[in-house]
Amino acid sequence: MKFDSIDKIDLTILRSLSKDGKKTYTEIAKQLNVSSQTISDRIDKLLKKQIIKRFTIEVDPESVNYPIEFICELDINVSFMDDVLAILKGIPEIHMIKITTGIHDILCIGNAASIENLHDVVERKISLISGVTKTYTSITLKKVKTNQVLNFDSD
């Protein structure tokens, strides 16, 4: 989908929903001085074009006893890429997996219940996957920015 197919109304809708996914069509319509039906039609179009991928919630991991956020970068034998990814997708503590350029091949972000849980995830689940040659794990000390609010200019 090309960026130029999105107009100012679409950008405002996307910005508004990225800040607050519970915002109603009526609230967005008032902000834009258009009808709720216009907003509904626009959102349907954005969903159909897969510009909006899904609506979801953000859960506070600490409140569900998974307070330790970790980043694990992996070096792998790339001929095992598909198998490694399939196994990583099945590890419940991992909530984001990205294939990357640069020094490491895969980036995983997740949450652990404890240091022992993190050790188990890295040493007994990730490190033992065939094709994983090295892991580099970090723990998040402080979150500075976590939202995915669209910041690009609409003009």
Tokens 């007994």 found at: 124
CATH of domain 3-48: 1.10.10.10
Is the domain spanning 61-139 CATH 3.30.70.980? The answer is no
Question: What are the extents of the domains in the chain?
Answer: 3-48, 61-139
* Single pTM value for the model: 0.81
Which spans in the chain are helix H? Answer: 8-19, 25-32, 36-48, 81-89, 115-119
Q: What is the pLDDT of residues 17-29, one digit of tens each?
A: 988 889 999 999 9
Q: What is the pLDDT of residues 133-151, one digit of tens each?
A: 999 999 999 989 877 666 6
